[in-house]
Amino acid sequence: MSRTGKQPVSIEGVTVSIDGSRVSAKGAKGELSVELLDLVNIEQNDGELVLKPANDSKKALVNWGTSRSLVQNIVTGVRDGFSKKLVISGVGYRAGMQGNDLKLTLGFSHDVIYQVPEGIRIQTPQPTEIIVSGIDKQQVGQVAANIREYRKPEPYKGKGVRYEDEFIFRKEGKKK
């Protein structure tokens, strides 16, 4: 039995519509929808969504918790939104917005220009901080991973782009 799947999804402040296996949520931040498998049934009870497996097959039980998480993510996204914070460390490494694009100076011979995709908002409150926000959790995480990919943190000095809560295992380096 899925512990995640058993929990109901609270839909306070969000308008949810169920059309067969398609669940749509509309809230203050926007509108999202997700297509669920036919192996999971969804029903709306006073202020919450309850998901149950359609049968006792292993595939239905496996997809039960995943479907519940997908529904929870769209409800949370349209209500509150998601954000990830990236921190840049290194001498001369910085970021800034240039129109609608993110300009990164990461020690290359050229600046890296990252075009911000539709539905994502990027802020740079300081030259060493990047805040990626949006309503789609998967897209926010992917954009943050793409930015981090330009210069991953290295283990000797810790220079590079890292997530705010990421721990970089440091190595000692050469000794004479």
User: pLDDT tens digit string along 116-143?
Assistant: 999 999 999 999 999 999 999 999 999 9
Cα–Cα distance, 109 to 73 (Å, whole number): 40
Among candidate residues 145, 141, 143, 134, the one with its CA nearest the CA of residue 32: 134
Report angle CA 31, 137, 101 to the nearest 5 degrees. Answer: 90
What is the pTM (predicted TM-score) of this model?
A: 0.90
CA 31 to chain centroid = 16
Are 49 and 59 contacting, i.e. CB atoms less than 8 angstroms apart? no
User: pLDDT tens digit string along 137-168?
Assistant: 999 999 999 999 999 999 999 999 999 999 99
Report angle CA 32, 33, 37 to the nearest 5 degrees. Answer: 155
Written as six digits, the tokens of 92 are: 């001369």
What is the predicted pLDDT for the residue at 173?
87
Q: Which residues contact 43 (CB under 8 A, 6 or more apart)?
A: 18, 49, 50, 52
User: Within 10 Å of residue 56's Cβ, how many Cβ atoms?
Assistant: 7
Asked if pLDDT for residue 24 goes beyond 80, the answer is yes
Q: How confident is the model at residue 17 (pLDDT cuts 50, 70, 90)?
A: very high
Sign of the alpha-carbon dihedral angle for 8, 13, 19, 24: negative
Q: How confident is the model at residue 1 (pLDDT cuts 50, 70, 90)?
A: low
Q: How confident is the model at residue 174 (pLDDT cuts 50, 70, 90)?
A: confident
Q: What percent of the chain has pLDDT over 70?
A: 99
Asked if pLDDT for residue 3 goes beyond 90, the answer is no
Are 77 and 43 contacting, i.e. CB atoms less than 8 angstroms apart? no
74, burial (CB in 10 Å: exposed 0-12, middle 13-18, buried 19+):
buried
Q: Domains in the chain, ordered, with CATH?
A: 3-79 (3.90.930.12), 82-163 (3.90.930.12)
User: pLDDT tens digit string along 41-97?
Assistant: 999 988 899 999 999 999 999 999 999 999 999 999 999 999 999 999 999 999 999
User: 142 in helix, strand or coil?
Assistant: helix
Q: What is the mean pLDDT of the chain?
A: 94
